[in-house]
Chain A
């Protein structure tokens, strides 16, 4: 550690200039970079025509000799903004954001957050992987040869590509031959845009084609981002992720309720789409455990609710509405089933209705505001006022977020959000904060012509992660093999038993873990301490990544992957009302290869047909995806979706790709220059979106895809869907159930309010300066957003803590060390921290000095296999260990390029 610290000081401490930075991490291009970034020499002093005469020294860092190129920001879970990079001979020396058109409320520039402005520092960061690496003590052959106990502690050596590929192929072949396809676990969860490895032959959720071609592998199921919101949404609403109305329609809402999500923090830019509504006088209420960034910028009122208790809060609101007869009875009667005894579905085995449940007919507990208040912590008067406001103001928008569904009882928050909307006669509700439904109808992706997955893909051996989304949609195939759930994987590896969806506990024997074409799964799935133990127990772990992530640290062979700027033709992605595109900026630096290339090379060594991996050069498949993009033409909406890009024979020749010229909305050259096609919107443009319009018009003729064709307040289908997971029984009515490790569980005596050992609720949020693990190791991001634990002054005082103190956060699952910020923006009893930090375990103390939330949040399997991040109890005390540096001054992960 001491040596790393020293190296860090020399490389990246405050004394460092950018020139040194480039020289250190990009030696090959140092001379070029210096020409672009140095600036104090007199010959660079032309600064324009109107320079006052006293200026006799040029500003630093004047741009020269390059050009601005458009790039897509891929460093986010939801925003997808436009960035522009100033490129000098293949080196990016400065970033800026969207300036492709005049900024306006209806058609805003798609400006990025700070991550976009730091993109080049991120791609050139010292912890980029440059060469293949091997863990010194590992040898193929399994058993003791692997020295798995040293994963995360061992030393590393640079090896040649041939050696790395040969060893990997040899070991995968051995394990496949000895133990079969279900002994190889593919860890994959979004390989394209939110990944540590951005895109590749197997982007998205599928296992890497290499493993499929080899004979199959197993992957994981469960829910991450969406928490427990999917199955309940599918069954009650008819869509696993319901979208609301578009932002122009929403601009006429009188009341906008934002629930739990923090647009400004986790999907920056999407909050801008409420500006027009605000300007029109809409009242905006935010509900959640902290006065967050979105509240700061938009909210007129903040309502505190404890994590995991939103359902109780809304039941209290429902009680008040029913008592005052404020509900929209016509809406409930016409569009919903199960609200009262007169409107039950035909198949209702329990016969209970929602209204009587709220009034306490079944459990002698009326769900009064007083009942709710004790659970959710919201003052009774606030619950009453909110009930009146939300039921008496129309048009109403309820914009939810999956954050509150990432709890042990997240289905209850989700279902009550819908029921509350329906009681208020509201058909504009959503569960995902970003995109807001705006993208889906304007923009499409042909996608045809890209690489194909191997046809030998066999779901009876192992399905794609999430079960290819089927499970989210309450679809289930008896014959498929879904593997372990995310929260069951480490248990499966360590015990040899796992929870099979259909057949209960089953044997499993995982010998290898392969993370190819995906993000940092060990770092990003809860239960890291358990995970480390599991990783140490297998024969072989291989990881391909852009950076030396936690996953790499616990691997045996590590492949350095080219970033999106370094490969193919370019990347296309959807954003808020836009299509974004970017082209390759440079060749791969050092020895990096695209993840498709890596898999092709492994396929060759395994004697597999490389056509199973890719069928055409990446440049061609990328281009085909561009050519297949579609969008609505604002000048000709009636024509429906059209090809987005006009491509001429000259374009094809210039790009060196094959294809057929086509007519589109925008020339491909203009699109690549601007980096964006934005569907121009205006009031009354005919592109308004109301997801339930036909159903609202005539619910009998246009039923919803639910079991009853209506919004299901009573849903037997929901109960049955949960039964298939064999993990948790739910009620057809949205009944409140305290969460495992929720607020109620923090007491040893609820009546007397005596707290137990773990007395604070922990909330893990997407953090603005990092997209999951991306940028989390970047000093320049960490200094601007240090990711301290946030704690209310009352809780700090009770623990003798002051603002800025280092603290120890402990849960049943693990311990982290972090600094604390004491602020009233967090409600008492709750502490909050950003996810994505790289785990950095101190082997002596067992404390994660990197402060990764997944060390604190455990991997308990429940519900529909959701990661219950926001149902976590902790205790916090003053840190007494060795001094804890400010996060941006902490040792970076090692830079192996230097030793190589």
Chain B
């Protein structure tokens, strides 16, 4: 089998976070724990004249929705001391909770901050692409929840054929580290070449 991946359209996403809530619900996560998050990346500045006229300079915001990137070269499986972090033949990376000792090595290694600790069981958990859904022929919860139809999943090769091979987008880590299974359509303003900006999320949005 090949490698499954996610496609994300940053140009149409409004940062509504239905994907975050649907993922939270599907995975039964308590307050303060999320397997999917939406990063808001803000760009631009303003000039204010003495008369109070406000001139925006390249002001725009786009968002990036990420769960696990189900990387081709996952840092988490590499770092896991017990082999609990498992990559399936179809590329889906998941935690075998029977083997996990909750040491957090995977979370430290992951450049996307995907693995999360379940404090009750002291094991790690993360986006597993809703593997029982996709195994049954359905979509991951986040994809079906996407209000603006900005998220898709499928064979990475198919997504790349359809949408191209761009997977680097600020503020995400450089794709050369782990080869994420991700395709992104850049926001129309980002296509103009701006690549500096800042993440404006609070800690709780990213926890």
Q: Which residues of A contact B (CB under 8 A)?
A: 12-18, 20-21, 37, 39-40, 47-52, 54-62, 94-97, 99, 103, 111-118, 120-121, 264-265, 268-269, 271-272, 275, 291, 293-297, 300, 302, 304, 373-374, 377-380, 753, 768-769, 779-780, 782-786, 788, 792-794, 803-804, 819, 821-825, 827-829, 886-889
Contacts and interface: CB of A to CB of B under 8 A. Distances in A.
A888 B32 contact: yes
Contacts of A786: 202, 204-205
Interface string B53-77: 1111001111100000000000000
B146 A824 contact: no
Contact of B131 (A40, A56, A59, A113): A59
Contacts of B90: 52
Given A269-B147, A783-B205, A886-B203, A17 B131 contact: no
A326 to B, nearest CB: 23
A753 B30 CA distance: 50
Contacts of A114: 16-18, 20-22
Given A47-B132, A821-B200, A825-B42, A291 B60 contact: yes
B52 A377 contact: yes
B175 to A, nearest CB: 24
Interface in B18-33: 18, 20-22, 24-33
A300 B46 CA distance: 18
Given A60-B27, A887-B204, A113 B147 contact: yes
Given A61-B28, A112-B18, A50 B135 contact: yes
Most buried by B among A114, A302, A779, A889: A114
B30 A52 contact: no
B54 A117 contact: no
Given A271-B14, A296-B14, A824-B59, A819 B147 contact: no
A47 B135 contact: yes
Given A14-B30, A17-B28, A378-B53, A302 B60 contact: yes
Contact of A18 (B22, B30, B42, B88): B30
Nearest to B95: A57
A96 B51 contact: no
A97 to B, nearest CB: 6
B108 interface: no
Contacts of A60: 27-28, 97, 125
A297 to B, nearest CB: 4
B15 interface: yes
A889 B131 CA distance: 31
Given A52-B1, A780-B30, 4 more contacts: A296-B14, A780-B24, A784-B17, A792-B46
A268 B17 CA distance: 11
Most buried by A among B13, B24, B25, B33: B25
A107 B187 CA distance: 25
A62 B132 contact: yes
A54 B92 CA distance: 12
A785 B17 contact: yes
Contacts of A784: 17, 20-21, 24, 34, 204-205
A61 B28 CA distance: 7
A15 B125 contact: no
A826 to B, nearest CB: 9
Contacts of B156: none
A49 B147 CA distance: 30
Contacts, number: 248
B131 A15 contact: no
Contacts of A804: 202-203
Given A47-B132, A61-B27, A784-B17, A824 B43 contact: yes
Contacts of A51: 135
A113 B141 contact: no
Q: Which 7 A-B pairs have the closest CB atoms?
A: A48-B135, A14-B32, A114-B21, A297-B14, A117-B21, A779-B31, A264-B14
A293 B135 contact: no
A283 B162 CA distance: 25
A729 to B, nearest CB: 28
A94 B144 CA distance: 14
B39 to A, nearest CB: 13
A57 B96 contact: yes
A265 B147 CA distance: 12
A753 B51 contact: yes
Given A15-B120, A54-B88, A56-B96, A304 B50 contact: no
Interface string B68-111: 00000000000000000010111000101110000000000000
6 contacts: A12-B30, A57-B97, A62-B132, A114-B18, A291-B56, A824-B59
Contact of B31 (A14, A111, A380): A14
Interface of B: 1, 12-18, 20-22, 24-34, 42-46, 48, 50-56, 59-63, 86, 88-90, 94, 96-98, 118-121, 125, 128, 130-132, 135-137, 141, 144-149, 187-188, 200, 202-205, 207
B53 A825 contact: no
B51 A374 contact: yes
Given A49-B135, A51-B135, A111 B32 contact: no
Contacts of B96: 56-57
Given A18-B28, A373-B53, A783 B132 contact: no
Contact of B45 (A14, A113, A824): A824
B54 A829 contact: yes
Nearest to A300: B188
Contact of A16 (B31, B60, B137): B31
Contacts of A117: 18, 21-22, 24-25, 145
A20 B207 CA distance: 20
Nearest to A752: B50
Contacts of A886: 202-204
Nearest to A294: B14
A115 B149 CA distance: 17
A48 B97 contact: no
Contacts of B27: 60-61
Contacts of B48: 794, 828-829
A120 B113 CA distance: 28
A760 to B, nearest CB: 13
A821 B13 CA distance: 20
Contacts of A40: 97, 121
B204 A888 contact: yes
Given A828-B48, A886-B204, A888-B32, A59 B94 contact: yes
Contacts of B88: 52, 54-55
Contacts of A39: 28
A892 B193 CA distance: 45
Contacts of B148: 264, 271-272, 297
B135 A302 contact: no
A753 B26 contact: no
Contacts of B28: 17-18, 37, 39, 60-61
B145 A828 contact: no
Nearest to B88: A52
Nearest to B134: A48
A819 to B, nearest CB: 7
A377 B55 CA distance: 8
A12 B30 CA distance: 8
Given A112-B18, A118-B21, A824-B43, A379 B53 contact: yes
A49 B131 CA distance: 12
Contacts of A829: 48, 52, 54
A111 B50 contact: no
Given A793-B45, A821-B200, A293 B205 contact: no
A620 B16 CA distance: 38
B56 to A, nearest CB: 6
B143 to A, nearest CB: 11
Given A117-B145, A819-B202, A825-B42, A293 B30 contact: no
Contacts of A822: 200
A112 B51 contact: no
A377 B120 CA distance: 53
Contacts of A37: 28
